[in-house]
Structure 1
Amino acid sequence: MGRYNRKTLLAVVLALGVVILFRLQDPENPPSAPETPPSTPSPAPIRDRNTPDDPAAPRLRPPSPLDRPVSLLLIGVDQRKEDVGRADALLVLTVNPSSKTVKVLNIPRDTKTWLIRGNGQRLRRDKINHSYSLGHGAKSTVKTVENFLNIPIHDYIKMNFAGFRSVIDLFGGVDVRVRRNFSYKGHHFRKGPMTLNGAQALAYIRDRTGGSDYDRHERQQQVLNSLWEKGTRWSTIMKLDELFRIVRRHSETSLSFPQAWRTLGTVREIPKEKREVLRLRGKDEWSSHYYLVVPEGERSRVSRVLREHLEIESHKKTGP
């Protein structure tokens, strides 16, 4: 599976984290009210600020904002028949409700680190994407990422590639601006604005026939930004039943309904300029396999940024 195939999945998993994570625990009932009745009079139902006063639009009670910073691990799994799969897309999302900011970190699948089982057992140094196949699934991946970044992961959302195409198509595609004419595996892209379906978006990110790493990263960000924008529209929220069916089939989460609903409410109010994408720099290592080795100084730098965003005091580091 291509490297940039996996990068495309990052965008989809993030979109799910922002849009429908609050729906995962309660497929039968729309989130019209919090689980616990409020002690004060309920505020007026909210409407999307970009939507006219349409009586057909859903009326939802606004969730109370988060009262502390939270971290989510968004996992894209390359899962096939008779194979447990590997965590081929890893995205750490931290949300700070006080500063109304979001930070996003992509952890490359080939990053070399200690693999930690879900029960806390340290095994060996290997590619971080192998963490999912240790026998505890997402729990092992969570433990491994916590150890690598020296931060707590409060919850996770996992999705496989089969759901990728369905979610993109349900969203009505993603809007991008193609910088050059090119073709990749039967898909043709013309310079200028295009709306891509799921299969096209996959090819758009995977292409490595021209351009630089920066060019590919820019394409990934275009897909990510389009999903983020479309995911907060009422037109998406009104498709929750169909969206949930896709998610139930292809994903799992540790989020409770109340926490997910509050996280959605907080993230939805954070403007684009308050979202920061972090880069994790490393060096190539070739032995029997290819690895990305992140220097200790770089790992510490990224860890420090995330810890500060989560408002965690410094303490002794764990091993990479």
Structure 2
Amino acid sequence: MMPRYSKEGFVPKISQILIVVLVFVGLTALFYALGSRLQRLVLGAKQSVASTAGRTNFLLLGVPGEAYSGQDLTDTLIFFSLDQSSGESWLLSLPRDIWIAAMRAKLNTVYHYAEKNQPGSGLAESKKVVGEILGQPIHYAVLLDFGGFRQVIDTLGGVPVDVERAFDDYRYPIPGKENDECSGDSNYQCRYEHLHFEKGLQLMDGERALKYVRSRFAEGEEGTDFARSRRQQQIITAIRKKLLSWETLRDGKRLRLLYEVFNQSIKTDVPPSAYFGLAQLALQFKTANIKTAGLEDLLVNPPASTQYDFQWVLMPRTDWSEIHRMVVKRLTN
């Protein structure tokens, strides 16, 4: 009997929601930044938000960006389905190690190889492959470069964050130092920096906020997943509140800057004619309405063999149809 999936790889629930919120507020900013004339054209367009049986399905992809190795490997893959009438949504994280037999490669490499073989085809190929895994149509794909996270916050002028307790993290990874031998240091200290956060209300720029939400090895209670999730929720709330505030929405210059940031950080096949519909959904979007699920009970890690090029991979415990049935059940209940 093959072992069930247990390797760490699923994005924590609150991190998934952070990605969804960033995508929705980004599309909202794009719409408002179009300007009044282009907005009227968009509003007058006949094309609406695509859907099947009243649901719009998205594939959300996250890449680490140029500062990290594997800059176009989609280590974050999320299927996000939204019911247009009720506003309820369902989110499913896909592990990057799912084996794609036709490609003899893992799921997180689909975008990379598609772009390498035919530039501009990465989103379409990713939608196709994930659609086959889940047995669902995928209407839109969005790829988010996490480097844009910092720029969004900086463009907003920073976000206020009330740090509940002071903490230190002595093992925060430094981008680009992952393989540094540190001159023989067995503890590899040169790969990490020391983070310190004081208790109390403070204005964080993009770099500081990113470290605040990504810190994983803080000493004491702040080193728990629960504390990290709470910090991420703080940033989610702060970004959404400031981005959708009247102060921001009436600031044409800032909206244009946000448009440029999102334009550089987000690749999508969402047409401009759908921006208004998605912006409306974003304005009424509430993270509390998101239901989440994972595939861990339906996947197994087969023994290393030539069949998988001796890689650590994941395969369905029976066949793909079991996953299809689970998805249908979740979407219809």
TM-score by length of 1: 0.67
Secondary structure of the corresponding residue to residue 73 of structure 2: strand
Instruction: Answer yes or no: is 1:98 the counterpart of 2:77.
Output: no
- Measured after TM superposition, the shift of residue 207 of structure 1 is 2.8
Counterpart CA distance in 1 for 2:142 and 2:133 is 18
Equivalent of residue 256 in structure 1, options 264, 271, 284 = 271
Quick one: structure 1 residues 84 and 200, their matched pair in 2 at CA, closer, same or farther if it must change by over 3 Å? closer
| 1:117-266 equivalences in 2 (<5 Å) | 122-124=102-104, 126-135=105-114, 136-171=121-156, 172-173=158-159, 175=161, 177-178=163-164, 181-183=167-169, 184=172, 185-191=193-199, 195-209=203-217, 211-237=223-249, 238=251, 239-266=254-281
Instruction: Answer yes or no: is 1:107 the counterpart of 2:94.
Output: yes
Counterpart CA distance in 1 for 2:318 and 2:162 is 36
Deviation by residue 1:85-144 (Cα, 9 ceiling, x = unmatched): 211222332221211222333334x331427xxxxxx323x4321111122322222222
CA contact (8 A) 1:93 1:105 kept: yes
Quick one: structure 1 residues 153 and 169, their matched pair in 2 at CA, closer, same or farther if it must change by over 3 Å? same
Secondary structure of the corresponding residue to residue 80 of structure 1: coil
Structure 2: runs of 5+ lacking an equivalent: 1-8, 115-120, 173-192, 305-309
- Measured after TM superposition, the shift of residue 242 of structure 1 is 0.5
Quick one: structure 1 residues 228 and 36, their matched pair in 2 at CA, closer, same or farther if it must change by over 3 Å? closer
Quick one: structure 1 residues 220 and 151, their matched pair in 2 at CA, closer, same or farther if it must change by over 3 Å? farther
Counterpart CA distance in 2 for 1:142 and 1:278 is 19
**How many residues end up aligned between the 2 structures?**
276
Secondary structure of the corresponding residue to residue 100 of structure 2: strand
Give the fraction of aligned pairs with identical amino acids, expressed as a percent: 23
CA contact (8 A) 1:12 1:167 kept: no
CA contact (8 A) 1:24 1:253 kept: no
- Measured after TM superposition, the shift of residue 12 of structure 1 is 5.9
Counterpart CA distance in 1 for 2:283 and 2:32 is 20
CA contact (8 A) 1:95 1:102 kept: yes
- Measured after TM superposition, the shift of residue 166 of structure 1 is 0.4
Counterpart CA distance in 1 for 2:206 and 2:14 is 10
Deviation by residue 1:11-35 (Cα, 9 ceiling, x = unmatched): 6643342123256589653464353
TM-score by length of 2: 0.65
- Measured after TM superposition, the shift of residue 205 of structure 1 is 3.5
The Cα RMSD (Å) is: 4.1
Counterpart CA distance in 2 for 1:293 and 1:227 is 37
- Measured after TM superposition, the shift of residue 243 of structure 1 is 0.7
Secondary structure of the corresponding residue to residue 87 of structure 1: coil
- Measured after TM superposition, the shift of residue 192 of structure 1 is 5.7
Residue in structure 2 matched with residue 308 of structure 1 by the alignment: 332
Instruction: Answer yes or no: is 1:18 the counterpart of 2:24.
Output: yes
